[in-house]
């Protein structure tokens, strides 16, 4: 019920007043009408157009103040029902567009729009689809990459049965448990993120000379961390050499958990393990499930905090830098133990 306020010779549009102010004015006007005051006098006292009080009375007729109180603007009605919006969430969350006949593996607003049109016979704009996805709690994210050869049943079996069995066996034999993994470091690799102006990709200077080194390590939930560095690819002979170094300082039996790399399963390796007469036992994680190995988190931390924070300078050698960084990590058992609190390795019972 917008009106015009008159101040002297100047007229002010009543729509410039807040809705709360206009509501209060209407309530007071109705009270004064009930006391017998003339409508013209009421309009004049508020500085409103002389017809304003008549409009207030007409609107309130038969209902009183309830008819002139504030009401929430209805706004535009949603096209989909709450149940349909929940169904959209179930379609997208954890699913792949290919499961619905699309030839693209990532969700886009356009694909969601087409799926809604197919299933609900409703056409939405891309902006409406974006608002819908945000409303149900879906956001655009960079997906993790997982090999399609993964065996979810084997992964579940490892988490629920195999790992607890290894832990029980280790406790009975007074043995330690460690996870093994290998990784590579490059001087020109850039990990992590930095800040920059929107639309202008930041530039990070890296050494022009390419340097690379590989490392292997074993990590335990008790905070122990053993590592070695090497050049070239890993083979059975290299791995057996590393096992000998690892066992040299090992007083208790060791259950070593590692991936299915062929170098881990050569005849020479099996013969060496047998020669240890129960002092060393190898257990192999399910294939294509690196997230089960906490040593992956160790490497991720090392790469994010090493060259990513301070690239090599002229004359520096990666082969000198990496051992120092890993030795610094090995001296922090609390840091090593913290990797075992990550959700992806929370299944480990040896903590």
Q: Specify the pLDDT at position 8.
A: 44
* 314 — pLDDT class (breaks 50, 70, 90): low
Distance from CA of residue 293 to its chain's centroid? Answer: 19
Q: Report how far residue 204's alpha carbon sits from residue 202's, in angstroms, rounded to the nearest whole number.
A: 7
Flag whether pLDDT at 25 surpasses 90: no
Flag whether pLDDT at 148 surpasses 60: no
Q: Mind listing the pLDDT tens digit for each residue in 277-307?
A: 999 999 999 988 889 999 999 998 988 886 6
Which of 35, 52, 30 lies closest to 43, judged by CA? 52
285 in Cβ contact with 348 (< 8 Å): no
Flag whether pLDDT at 185 surpasses 70: yes
Q: Mind listing the pLDDT tens digit for each residue in 254-285?
A: 999 999 999 999 999 999 999 999 999 999 99
What are 92's two structure tokens? 């997208």
* 10 — pLDDT class (breaks 50, 70, 90): very low
Element (H, E) at 180: strand 176-186
H-state helical runs in the chain: 19-34, 39-45, 52-60, 82-92, 109-120, 126-135, 152-157, 163-173, 236-248, 267-275, 294-305, 318-330, 333-339
Q: Mind listing the pLDDT tens digit for each residue in 194-241?
A: 565 666 666 655 555 567 789 999 999 999 999 999 988 889 999 999
Q: Report how far residue 79's alpha carbon sits from residue 82's, in angstroms, rounded to the nearest whole number.
A: 10
Flag whether pLDDT at 52 surpasses 90: no
Q: Specify the pLDDT at position 93.
A: 86
Q: Are strands 254-258 and 176-186 parallel, antiparallel or unpaired?
A: parallel
Report the alpha-carbon angle 185-190-193, nearest 5: 135
Q: Report how far residue 133's alpha carbon sits from residue 110's, in angstroms, rounded to the nearest whole number.
A: 12
Higher pLDDT, 218 or 314: 218
Element (H, E) at 282: strand 280-284
Q: Mind listing the pLDDT tens digit for each residue in 108-132?
A: 899 999 999 999 999 999 999 999 9
CATH number for 152-191+208-345: choose from 3.20.20.100, 3.30.420.10, 3.30.470.20, 3.30.43.10.
3.30.420.10
* 56 — pLDDT class (breaks 50, 70, 90): confident
Is 0.75 topped by the overall pTM? Answer: no
Q: Report how far residue 280's alpha carbon sits from residue 248's, in angstroms, rounded to the nearest whole number.
A: 12
Flag whether pLDDT at 187 surpasses 80: no
Q: How many residues does the chain have?
A: 351
Backbone angle region of 17, left / alpha / beta, with phi > 0 → left and psi within -120 to 50 → alpha: beta
Flag whether pLDDT at 6 surpasses 60: no
- Distance from first CA to last CA of the chain, Å, rounded? 69
* 193 — pLDDT class (breaks 50, 70, 90): low
């Amino acid at each position: 019920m917008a009106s015009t306020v008159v101040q002297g010779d100047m007229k002010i549009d009543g729509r410039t007043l807040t809705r709360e102010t206009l509501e209060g004015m209407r309530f007071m006007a109705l009270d004064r009408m009930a006391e017998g005051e003339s409508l013209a006098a009421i309009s004049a006292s508020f500085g409103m157009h002389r017809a304003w009080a008549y409009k207030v009375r007409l609107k309130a007729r038969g209902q009183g103040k309830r008819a002139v109180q504030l009401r929430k603007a209805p706004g535009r009605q949603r096209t989909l029902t709450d149940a349909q919006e929940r169904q959209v969430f179930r379609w997208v969350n954890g699913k792949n567009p290919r499961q619905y006949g699309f030839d693209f593996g990532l969700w886009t607003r356009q694909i969601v729009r087409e799926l809604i049109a197919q299933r609900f016979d409703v056409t939405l704009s891309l902006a409406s689809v974006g608002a819908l996805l945000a409303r149900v709690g879906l956001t655009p994210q960079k997906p993790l990459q997982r090999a399609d050869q993964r065996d979810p049943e084997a992964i579940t079996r490892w988490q629920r049965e195999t790992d607890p069995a290894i832990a029980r066996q280790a406790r009975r034999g007074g043995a330690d448990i460690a996870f093994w993994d290998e990784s590579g470091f490059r001087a020109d690799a850039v990990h992590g993120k930095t800040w920059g102006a929107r639309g202008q990709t930041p530039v990070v200077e890296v050494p022009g000379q390419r340097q690379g080194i590989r490392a292997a390590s074993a990590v335990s939930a008790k905070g122990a961390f053993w590592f070695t560095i090497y050049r070239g690819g890993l083979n059975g002979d290299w791995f057996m050499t590393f096992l000998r170094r690892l066992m040299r300082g090992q007083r208790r039996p060791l259950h070593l958990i590692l991936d299915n790399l062929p170098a881990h399963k050569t005849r020479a390796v099996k013969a060496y393990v047998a020669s240890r007469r129960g002092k060393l036992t190898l257990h192999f994680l399910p294939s294509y499930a690196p997230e089960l190995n906490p040593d992956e988190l160790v490497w991720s931390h090392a790469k994010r905090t090493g060259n990513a924070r301070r690239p090599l300078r002229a004359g520096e050698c990666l082969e000198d830098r990496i051992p120092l960084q890993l030795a610094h990590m090995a001296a922090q058992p609390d840091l090593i133990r913290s990797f075992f609190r990550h959700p992806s390795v929370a299944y480990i019972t040896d903590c």
